[in-house]
Chain A
Amino acid sequence: MAKRIDVSGLTAYYGNHKAIEDISMTVEPRSVTAFIGPSGCGKSTFLRTLNRMHEVTPGGRVEGKVMLDDENLYGSGVDPVSVRRTVGMVFQRPNPFPTMSIFENVAAGLKLNGSYKKSELESVVERSLKGANLWNEVKDRLNKPGAGLSGGQQQRLCIARAIAVEPDVLLMDEPCSALDPISTLAIEDLIGELKERFTIVIVTHNMQQAARVSDRTAFFNLAGVGQPGKLIEIDETERIFSNPSVQATEDYISGRFG
C-alpha cells in the first residue's frame, strides 16, 4: 500500500536553531528517492520529519505540512505513534533489540499493534525475513539473539522488522554507512526489490549509491555553518547526475566541494 508523500513549506527547528527551511517536494509511490548533500545540510533531519521522529529530540519542532496521500501527518489530532506505525524507518547503525531473539525482533512491531496467534506471527516473520533476503541465513537459528548476527545481517534484520508491519513508506537513514561493500551490495539489491511494494526514501553520503538505487534524487545544501539547510533541486536521478539544472548540484556531484 505504497503512498505518495507531498511535503509543502516544511521548516524544522532544534530549539531556536532552524535546521531546514521551507522544503517542498513530492515523493512518488513505489519509487526510490535519494537525499544527498554535504554534512549538516539537514537531509537526515528532513527524513526524520517524515515519520515525526524529529520531535523526539528535545527542542525539536516542525512547521509545515506533510501529506501522506490525503492525510496530513502534522494535522491536529494525529497521533505521532500511529504515524510511525505506517512510516517505517531503518537507521544508520543496525539496531536490533539486543535482548530479543531474531524471531522476536521481527515480530516486535506486530506485537505492539495487537495480539496475534503464534502461527500468524510465524508466517509474517518468515515472509518479512524472506523479503529482507535474510531467511536462508537465519531460518535455523530464529531463537538466537539478533545482536549475534554480522553487521550486514543485522541491518537486513532491521529492514525485516520494519517491513513486517507493512508500512506505507520506508525511510532509510544512511543504511549502509556502517557496512562493508558486500553487505552494502546486498542492501542495495534489496532496496531494488522493496520498491515494488513500498515508497522508499534513502539518505546517503555515497553518490554512487544514490545513482545506483534511486529513481529520483534530491540535493540539499546550506549557505554556511549555522544557516538552515535547503532543498536545492529534486529531479530524475539520471538528470541530476548528468545534467543538473543548478550549478551547486553539479559542483557537489563532481567533487568540487563538500
Chain B
Amino acid sequence: MKTDIEPTHTPAGSPPRLRTRSTGRAGDKIFLGLSRGSGIILLVIMAAIAAFLTYRAVIAISKDEANFLTAFEWNTGTEPMRFGIAVLAYGTVISSVIAMVIAVPVAVGIALFISHYAPRRLATPVAYVIDLLAAVPSIVYGLWGALFLVPHLTGLYTWLDEYLGWTGIFSYQGGAARSLFTVGILLAIMILPIVTSVSREVFRQVPKMHEEAALALGATRWEVIRMSVLPFGRSGIISASMLGLGRALGETMAVATVLSPSYLIDASLLDPGGGTFAQNIASHFKEANDNGRDALIASGLVLFVITLLVNGAARMIIARRKEYSGAAA
C-alpha cells in the first residue's frame, strides 16, 4: 500500500552523533589520519600567524615614542619612531560601517527580489550578474572608483553639504571626493555580491510550510516575507553581513587607489583624508625599513583583533535567540 504519510519529524536540536570506532581497515585509518592531520595543520598555521604578528608587534610598540593607540601620526622612517593607529582604526571602522549601512539593505532587497518576487526567467540572469560582480578584481574596482566614482560624487557631496552640512558629518569643502565616504560607497558595491548571494540562499531555504502558514492566514507577499522569510533568514543575514564586513575591513587595493590619506580625524566624512589599516600597510610597506615593517605589522595585529571581535559579536547575536531560530523547527 502506498502512503504519502511523512515520518514524524525529529525533535529540536541536532541528532546525536554516531560514535563509531574505526574498523581497523586501511581506508579508515588513512582517512582518520588525513582529517586529523588537516585539523592540526590549521591550528598550527593559525598559532604561527598569531605568534609572528605578536612578536614583531611587541618589538615595534616597544620602540614607539608616541602612544600606539591614540597618536595621530605615522613616522617610522627615522629614529625615534612615532606612530599610532587611532586614525587607521577610525577610518577602517567608519568606512566599513558606511559600506554596511548602504550594502546590507540593498543586498537583502535584491536577494528577496531574486528569491521571492522575480519570475524565474528574470531571477536567474539577475543572480548571475550579481555573482559576476564578485569576480571583478579589487584593483579594477579601485580604478573605476578613482576615475569614475570620485569625479561623479562631487555633485552629490555639494548637495549634501548644502542641506546637511550643519551636521558637521556632511560638510564638504570641495576638491576631489577622495574621502572615507567615497571609500564606503565603493566598499558597499564590492561587498554587495557576497551579502546578496548568501542571503539569497538562506531565503531560498525557508521551509515552504512556514511560508504557507503565513499565506493561509491571509498574508500578502510582503507579510509572508515579514512573518516567515525574514525571521527565518535573520541569522543568515547576519552571517552574510559578517562575511561582507570581513571583506570591507580588510580591503586594500581599492581603498589605497581611491583614498587621499592623511593622519587626521576629520568630523566630515566627505572631505578627503583619513586612512585604513590595510590601505596604510599597502601604501607604506614597500619603502619601509625593518622598523617600519614591524610598525605596520603591529597595526595589522590590531586589524586582526578587530575582525575577531566583530565575528565574536556576530556569533553572540545569532546565539542569543537560538530557541527562536528557525533551525529548531
Contact = CB atoms under 8 A, between A and B. Distances in A.
> Is B truly associated with A?
yes
24 contacts: A39-B3, A81-B219, A84-B217, A84-B219, A88-B216, A91-B209, A91-B213, A93-B6, A93-B9, A95-B207, A95-B210, A95-B212, A99-B232, A99-B234, A99-B321, A99-B324, A112-B223, A145-B323, A147-B329, A148-B323, A162-B216, A174-B5, A177-B6, A179-B8
A24 to B, nearest CB: 24
Which residue of B1, B5, B218, B231 has the most chain A CB atoms within 10 A of its CB atom? B218
Interface of B: 1-6, 8-9, 12, 120, 207, 209-210, 212-220, 223, 227-228, 231-232, 234, 321, 323-326, 328-329
A84 B218 contact: yes
Contacts of A15: none
Contacts of A177: 5-6
Contacts of B220: 81
Nearest to A144: B323
B7 to A, nearest CB: 8
Nearest to A101: B324
Given A38-B2, A145-B323, A84 B232 contact: no
Contacts of B227: 97, 108
Contacts of B3: 39, 205
Given A85-B218, A112-B218, A258-B2, A56 B213 contact: no
Size band of the interface chain A makes with B: 35 or more
A112 B9 CA distance: 29
Contact of A97 (B213, B215, B234): B213
Contacts of A56: 212, 215
Contacts of B12: 147-148
Given A95-B212, A98-B210, A82 B324 contact: no
Q: What are the nearest 7 A-B pairs in CB distance? A: A85-B218, A99-B231, A89-B216, A98-B329, A109-B217, A95-B209, A84-B218
Interface in A20-39: 38-39
A53 interface: yes
B217 A98 contact: no
Which residue of A97, A161, A177, A179 has the most chain B CB atoms within 10 A of its CB atom? A97
Interface of A: 38-40, 51, 53, 56, 58, 81-86, 88-89, 91-93, 95-100, 108-109, 112-113, 145, 147-148, 151, 158, 161-162, 165, 174, 177-180, 205, 258
B213 A112 contact: no
Nearest to A92: B6
A98 B6 contact: no
A78 B273 CA distance: 59
A111 to B, nearest CB: 9
A179 to B, nearest CB: 7
A26 B217 CA distance: 24
B138 to A, nearest CB: 37
A250 B209 CA distance: 34
